[in-house]
Structure 1
Amino acid sequence: MTALDITGAKTAEAADVITGARERIDALDDRIIGLIQERVAVSAVVQDARIASGGRRVNLSREMEILAHYSEALGKPGTALAMTLLELCRGRI
C-alpha cells in the first residue's frame, strides 16, 4: 500500500503533507492523553481532600465553572468535551 493509498491524497506532495501532519496529530494526541491522565490524578487529590474534610466528593458549582470555561473556549463541542473530562475525573458517583 502506498502513501497515496493510505492518505487518500491524489499527489505525492499532498501525501507527504498529510503524513507529516498525521505524525504531529499522533504526537499531540499522546500529549493530550497524558494531560488527561494527569488531570484525573490531580482531581483525585482534590476529591480526597474534600472528603477528608467532611465535604462531598463532587462540587457541582465548580463543575459548572469548568463547563462554562470549555463552552466559552470551544462552543457546544467544548461542553461535551468538558462533560467527558468531568466523568473521567469523578470516577463512579
Structure 2
Amino acid sequence: MHQKNFGSFLTSIEEKERVYHSELIRHGVNYEEAVQAAKIIASEKPNELLTPEETELVKEVCTAWLLKHKSYKHLNPLLMKFKQVE
C-alpha cells in the first residue's frame, strides 16, 4: 500500500482518493468525473506528467467544485440567520 503524508498523518493514496471524491460529490460534481479527477489529484503526479486531457478534466472539475463551494459558503450563514429568526 502506498503511504503519503496528508496533513498531519499518513494516509494511503486510496484513502486520499475517497476523501477527494467525497468532497467533489458533496459539492455537485458529476460522479464519474469526480472519480477520475480524485484519482489524478491523489496520485500527486507533477503537472508536466499529466496528459492534456487529465489537466483539462482536473481544471473543469475543480472549477465546478469551487463555484459550488463558494455558493455553499455564501448561503450557509444566510440559512443560519433565517433559522434564528424562526
For the criterion TM > 0.5, the same-fold answer is no
| TM band (smaller chain) | 0.3 to 0.5
TM-score under structure 1 normalisation?
0.38
Could you say which structure has the higher helix fraction? 1
- Using the size of structure 2 for normalisation, the TM-score is 0.41
